[in-house]
Structures are given as structure tokens and as C-alpha cells.
Amino acid sequence: GENVEQHPSTLSVQEGDSAVIKCTYSDSASNYFPWYKQELGKGPQLIIDIRSNVGEKKDQRIAVTLNKTAKHFSLHITETQPEDSAVYFCAASGETSYDKVIFGPGTSLSVIP
């Protein structure tokens, strides 16, 4: 079955710097890759996603890149702010709601003011 690895497990950056989180997956059949942000005491929030027919997607300060050949994808956050502090989970699945979403272990991001 699918296995998703995520690095680093913790990341600390100064406010205004960039943060990068990297994930790898094992199943070449996966073609949907969401990123979730989970703040303390809250449920995961879908912040951006990418499908296998796209190499890069950007939404304001966040961007995701996908290298399907190498089976890895990354989250980039620019101009980090204290409110970006949270746990971020990458995930991989098929294209439908019937496909199980496999989560990475998570990255705890701290943005230091």
C-alpha cells in the first residue's frame, strides 16, 4: 500500500523567512496530493492541493510543487508569519472520495516573531 514520508518533523523559522516541507510517496498510482494545516485544538484545514497533471500550484504565500517521476512533493511558505505556526500534514490518494487518503507523519512549524 501507499506510504508517505515527510521531513523535517520540526521546523523553526524567523518571521519573514521561507519554510519548506518535503514529502515522498511510494505508490505511483497516487495522483492527488493535499496539504493540511492543523492548529492546536482544531481539525485539519485543507490549505492547498495538487494533482498529478500539474507540476506547481501557488496560492498567495503558499505553493506546492510535484515531481511525479521522483515521487516527491513539497510545500513552500514565503514571508512566514506567526499565524503560520501549526502542524502541517502532507497526504496522497487517488482521485475520488473512495480512495483512502494516506497522511505523512506531520511537520511542526514554529514561526518566531
Q: How far apart are CA 101 and CA 93, in angstroms?
A: 5
CB 106 within 8 A of CB 89: yes
Interaction mask 47-66, other proteins, x per CB under 8 A: --x-----------------
Specify which residues 79 forms β-bridges with.
none
> Up-side HSE of residue 55: CA atoms within 13 Å toward CB?
3
Is residue 88 involved in binding other proteins (CB under 8 A)? no
Out of 2, 47, 76, 99, point to the residue binding other proteins (CB under 8 A). 99
Is residue 1 involved in binding other proteins (CB under 8 A)? no
Q: Contact residues for other proteins (CB under 8 A)? A: 32, 34, 36, 41-46, 49, 89, 93-101, 103-106
